C-alpha cells in the first residue's frame, strides 16, 4: 500500500474506533513496530541516497498525522469511558432510607427496674441468680427434704444430668446468699429472675414466670419489719392510697408464713368484680426465715433472724398496668408491647 492509501485507511480506522480497545488495535496495526507506517519507512533503504531525505520526511509527516489523530481520538474515548463509569456508579440520593425504629422495653423488665429501684433505695443489694439449680438449693436447703410432699406442689423440669432442675422459685437464691456470705453478717438482697413450674397455662398461670426474691438477715428482725418494708414497697409501687393485708399461710422455709394482699385499685377495698368481692388482691408470699434454713446457710438461729419474700413479676405488672392475661407477656404481640 502506498502512503496516500495508508493515510486514508488509518484515519478512517481511528475515526471508526468505538472504544479504547479497538483504538489500540488500530494503533498497533499502523503505528506499531511491525505496522504499516514502519513498513513504509523500511523501504527507505532501497532508495537512492539522494531521494532518501525527502522520502523520510514524507513518511514522518504521515506518522505525525496518524499519531495526532490517534491521540485526539484516545482523549475523546477516555473521556467517554469516564463519563460512563461515573454514570454507572452514581448514588441515587432520592432513594428512601431505612426507617429507624426505636424499640420498647418489655413490661416484665420495666417492673424489675422499678422494684429494684425501690429496694435499692432501702439499701438492698441486687443479686443475679441462676435458672438451673440443684435439688439441694431449690428444695433441701429451703427445708423441703427429699420425699417431702411440698416438692409435689412445685414440680418442674428436670435435666438429664442428675440432681439438676429448672428452679421453681427464686428462693433458691436465699440459700446461696447465706452460704456465700463469708463473714456470716447481715444480708439485705433482692434477686429478680425466671422460675419454672409444671403448671396449666391459663390466664393467670404459665409454666415460666418471673419472681423477685427478697431476703433480709440481721438481729431482732421481726414480722413488723417485714410488714413495714412491704407496706412501703406497695405504696411506692401502686400509690399512697393502697394498703396491705397479711393472711397466714404456709411455706416450708418461713415460719410464720403469710400471703400478702394489696387493696384493690378499682374499688379501694370495698369489693368489686376485679377483686372477686374481697377488696384485696394477692401479690406475694413472705415470712420469717425458718431456723432450719438459717442453719443450712451457716447462721445461728439463736443469734440471727430475718424475713424473706417472693413476689411475682408478671403479677405485679398485671396489677400495675391492668393486664388481663399472663400469656400476653410471652406472645410477642407488637401491639401489646407498644403500649408501655
Ligand atoms: N418461694 C415462694 C413461692 O414461690 C414465695 C416465698 C418466697 C414465700 C419467700 C416466702 C418467702 O411461692
Residue written as cell 435435666? Answer: 159
222 and 256 belong to one structural domain? yes
Examine the domain organization and report whether 162 and 19 are in the same domain. Answer: no
Domain-embedded: residue 93: no
Q: Is 309 in the pocket of ligand 1 (CB under 6 A)?
A: yes
How confident is residue 19, by pLDDT bands cut at 50, 70 and 90? very high
Q: Which residues does 45 contact at the CB level (< 8 Å), separation at least 6?
A: none
Q: 21, 14, 20: which is closest to 66 by C-alpha?
A: 14
Most confident of the ranges 39-43, 71-75, 87-91, 151-155: 71-75
Kind and range of the H or E element at 268? none
User: Is 97 among the domain residues?
Assistant: no
Q: So what's the pLDDT on residue 333?
A: 92
Is residue 200's pLDDT more than 80? no
pLDDT at residue 339, rounded to an integer: 87
State if residue 286 touches ligand 1 by the CB under 6 angstroms criterion.
Answer: yes
Domain boundary among the residues 29, 56, 88 is at: 88
Give the per-residue pLDDT at 81. 92
Q: How many Å lie between the centroid of ligand 1 and the Cα of residue 239?
A: 24
Task: Classify the C-alpha dihedral 335-338-339-340 as positive or negative.
Answer: positive
Atom of ligand 1 nearest to the CA of 211: 4
The CA 6 to ligand 1 mean position distance, Å, reads 104
Query: What distance in Å separates the CA atoms of residue 214 and residue 226, rounded to the nearest whole number?
Result: 10
Give the length of the chain. 340
Does the C-beta of 77 come closer than 6 Å to ligand 1? no
Q: Compute the average pLDDT of residues 126-146.
A: 95
Task: Report the number of distinct structural domains present in the chain.
Answer: 2
Average pLDDT rounded to a whole number, residues 318-325: 88
pLDDT tens digit sequence for 213-267: 999 999 999 999 999 999 999 999 999 999 999 999 999 999 999 999 999 888 8
Within a domain: 221: yes
Given this model, what pLDDT does residue 95 score? Answer: 80
Shared domain for 79 and 171, answered yes or no, is no
Adjacent-strand bridge partners of 254: 251, 289
Over residues 304-314, the mean pLDDT reads 97
Instruction: Answer yes or no: is the C-beta of 210 below 6 A from any ligand 1 atom.
Output: no
Per DSSP, the residues of 12-70 read HHHHH--SHHHHHHHHHHHHSTTSHHHHHHHGGGGS-HHHHHHHHHHHHHHHHHHHHHH
Helix locations, 212-306, DSSP H = 223-238, 291-296
Residues 124, 268 share a domain: yes
254 lines ligand 1 (CB under 6 A): yes
Q: Is the pLDDT of residue 17 over 80?
A: yes
Q: Are residues 209 and 133 in the same domain?
A: yes
Whether residue 143 is found in the same domain as residue 247: yes
* b (16+ CB within 10 A) / e for 155-175: ebeeeeeeeebbbbbbbbbbb
Give distance in angstroms: CA of 169 to centre of ligand 1: 7
Ligand 1 atom at minimum distance from 154 CA: 4
Average pLDDT over residues 282-309: 97
Query: 285 in ligand 1 pocket by Cβ < 6 Å?
Result: yes
Both 144 and 55 in one domain: the answer is: no
- Given a cut of 80, whether residue 1 has pLDDT beyond it is no
Domain that holds residue 128: 107-337
| One domain for residues 79 and 218 | no
Looking at the fold, whether 250 and 332 belong to one and the same domain comes out as yes
Do 122 and 83 share a structural domain? no
Torsion of CA 139, 141, 142, 143, to 10 degrees: 90
Ligand 1 atom at minimum distance from 285 CA: 8
> What CATH number should be reported for the domain holding residue 125?
3.30.930.10
- Ligand 1 geometric centre to CA of 274 (Å): 24
Helix/strand/coil percent split, the chain, to 5: 45, 20, 35
CA distances from residue 190 to 281, 290, 308 in whole angstroms, order as listed: 22, 18, 9
Question: Is the CB of 66 within 6 Å of ligand 1?
Answer: no
Ligand 1 center from residue 10 Cα (angstroms): 99
Tell me, yes or no, whether 70 and 142 share the same domain: no
Q: At residue 201, does pLDDT exceed 80?
A: no
State the DSSP string of 283-297.
EEEEEEEPHHHHHHT
286 or 149: which leads in pLDDT? 286
Write the residue with the smallest CA distance to atom 7 of ligand 1. Answer: 310
pLDDT band at 324 (very low <50, low <70, confident <90, very high): confident
Amino acid at each position: 500500500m502506498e502512503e496516500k492509501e495508508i493515510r486514508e485507511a488509518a484515519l478512517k480506522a481511528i475515526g471508526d474506533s468505538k472504544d479504547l480497545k479497538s483504538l489500540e488495535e488500530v494503533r498497533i496495526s499502523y503505528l506499531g513496530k511491525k505496522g504499516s507506517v514502519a513498513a513504509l519507512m523500511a523501504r527507505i533503504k532501497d532508495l537512492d541516497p539522494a531521494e532518501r531525505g525527502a522520502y523520510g520526511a514524507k513518511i514522518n509527516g504521515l506518522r505525525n498525522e496518524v499519531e495526532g489523530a490517534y491521540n485526539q481520538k484516545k482523549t475523546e474515548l477516555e473521556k467517554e469511558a469516564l463519563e460512563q463509569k461515573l454514570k454507572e456508579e452514581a448514588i441515587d440520593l432520592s432513594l428512601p432510607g431505612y426507617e429507624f425504629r426505636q424499640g420498647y422495653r418489655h413490661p416484665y423488665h420495666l417492673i424489675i427496674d422499678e422494684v429494684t429501684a425501690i429496694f435499692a433505695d432501702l439499701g438492698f443489694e441486687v443479686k443475679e441468680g441462676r435458672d438451673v439449680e440443684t435439688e439441694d438449693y431449690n428444695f433441701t436447703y429451703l427445708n423441703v427434704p427429699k420425699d417431702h410432699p411440698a416438692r409435689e406442689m412445685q414440680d418442674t423440669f428436670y435435666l438429664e444430668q442428675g440432681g439438676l432442675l429448672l428452679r421453681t422459685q427464686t428462693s433458691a437464691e436465699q440459700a446461696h446468699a447465706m452460704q456465700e456470705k463469708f463473714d456470716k453478717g447481715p444480708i439485705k438482697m433482692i434477686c429478680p429472675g425466671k422460675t419454672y413450674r409444671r403448671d396449666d397455662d391459663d390466664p393467670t398461670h404459665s409454666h415460666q414466670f418471673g419472681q423477685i426474691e427478697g431476703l433480709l438477715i440481721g438481729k431482732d428482725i421481726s414480722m413488723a419489719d417485714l410488714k413495714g418494708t412491704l407496706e412501703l414497697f406497695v405504696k411506692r409501687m401502686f400509690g399512697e392510697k393502697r394498703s396491705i393485708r397479711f393472711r397466714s399461710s404456709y411455706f416450708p422455709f418461713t415460719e410464720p408464713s403469710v400471703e400478702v394482699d394489696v387493696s384493690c385499685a378499682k374499688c379501694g377495698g370495698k369489693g368489686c368484680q376485679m377483686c372477686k368481692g374481697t377488696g384485696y388482691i394477692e401479690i406475694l408470699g413472705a415470712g420469717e426465715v425458718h431456723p432450719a434454713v438459717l442453719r443450712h446457710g451457716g447462721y445461728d438461729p439463736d443469734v440471727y433472724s430475718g424475713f424473706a419474700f417472693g413476689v411475682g413479676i408478671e403479677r405485679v405488672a398485671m396489677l400495675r398496668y391492668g393486664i388481663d392475661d399472663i400469656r400476653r407477656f410471652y406472645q410477642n404481640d407488637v401491639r401489646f408491647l407498644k403500649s408501655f
